[in-house]
Amino acid sequence: MRTLVVDLLGGLGDLVMVLPTVHALADADPGGELVVLTHAPGAVLLARDPAVTGVLTAEKHAEREIVGKALADLAPDLVVSTTRFDGIGDLIDADAAARGTRAVTNLWRSPPADELVGERYQRILAAEGVIADRVRPPRLVLGDDERAPEVAPGTVVLVPDAGMAVKRWPTPRWTQLAAALHDRPVVSVTPLEGVEAWEPTDLRGLAARFAAVGRAGGTVVGGDTGPVRMAAASGARTIALFGPTLAARYGLEEGENLQGLTGCPHRRPTAITEQVCWWDAGCPLSGSGPACLEDLSVASVVAAIG
């Protein structure tokens, strides 16, 4: 059987959250073909994954065209999609109906606020009879030749940046956190004043470094970002800082999720892009940035690190 997984939501974190579904689909059809259609650069995370037989990529704003071409070229027996924008879900459903094949295109149906997104994907597909009824966490697959150099025991890795301003913990908090951890090795993924920074590397190199941190009993700390999800999926102990997004829905499957301002009246767990703060980080409760992230103290993060 040939299966096509379409994940064009746009972020590294989105791809990491769908990895358990990819692995479950491969387990459900041993010997079958499984192709993933996603955006670059995240596609490289699948490069050494034995569950994946092929990877296709789509450019931004050309997704529908590429999905149509993939359907025509591959003629898949099963399509699973996290993506419905621009009529992509309808396109997949129509193709499956025309060819008498199977498609599961709405993995966002009736989402509860307290169920993790990646786990909900799996429960929906299990209910559809497509995969086994077993929830699993994300795992990135690295080759033996991708082993990064060992790091000092107990190293704490900071991930202070995020792709969206609304997800960034205030920069002064990061420097204060590093100072509070003066008795242990601290490094940063990106430049941070007063903190040693890792040399730039590609995504697979970054995953290998996170795996080394895990082997050394270290901890990765960062916001609701793709690299932080990569860290957890690479085997590192991970602490994620959540503000506008609700950790009960978007948190790490494995790791510790710290939620700021739990009672925010503007948070919309099942419609985050409709939140008043989402696109420009303009918070109705604070003039200096998202109040939910300001609510997360340095002391609370230090306590979580232990």
Taking each helix axis from N to C end, the angle separating 88-99 and 63-74, rounded to the nearest 10 degrees, works out to 20
Dihedral (CA of 22, 46, 144, 189) sign: negative
Return the pLDDT at 186. 98
Cα separation, 70 vs 271, whole angstroms: 29
Judge whether 23 and 80 are in contact, CB under 8 Å. Answer: no
Return the pLDDT at 41. 87
**To 10 degrees, the CA torsion angle through 203, 204, 208, 209?**
-20
Judge whether 148 and 212 are in contact, CB under 8 Å. Answer: yes
Structure token pair of residue 96: 């499956």
Instruction: Tell me which residue of 243, 276, 245, 277 sits closest to 260, measured CA to CA.
Output: 243
Return the pLDDT at 10. 86
Give the up-direction half-sphere exposure of residue 113: CA atoms within 13 A in the CB hemisphere.
Answer: 9
Which residues sit opposite 80 in a β-bridge? Answer: 5, 104
Read off the pLDDT of residues 176-205 as tens digits, 9 standing for 90 and up.
999 999 999 999 999 999 999 999 999 999
Beta carbons within 8 Å of 203's beta carbon, 6+ residues apart: 12, 41, 42, 44, 45, 230
Sequence-distant contacts of 41-46: CB under 8 A, at least 24 apart: 41/203, 42/11, 42/12, 42/15, 42/203, 42/226, 44/202, 44/203, 44/204, 45/12, 45/15, 45/16, 45/140, 45/203, 45/204, 45/207, 45/230, 46/22
Beta strands in 58-199 (DSSP E): 78-81, 102-104, 156-159, 186-188, 196-197
**What are the residue ranges in the chain where pLDDT is below 50?**
none
The architecture in CATH of the region 2-127 reads 3-Layer(aba) Sandwich (3.40)
Cα separation, 284 vs 272, whole angstroms: 15
Domain with CATH 3.40.50.2000 in the chain: 2-127, 147-305
Return the pLDDT at 183. 94
Return the pLDDT at 58. 95
Return the pLDDT at 251. 97
Specify burial of residue 78 (Cβ count, 10 A radius: 0-12, 13-18, 19+). Answer: buried
CATH number of 147-305: 3.40.50.2000
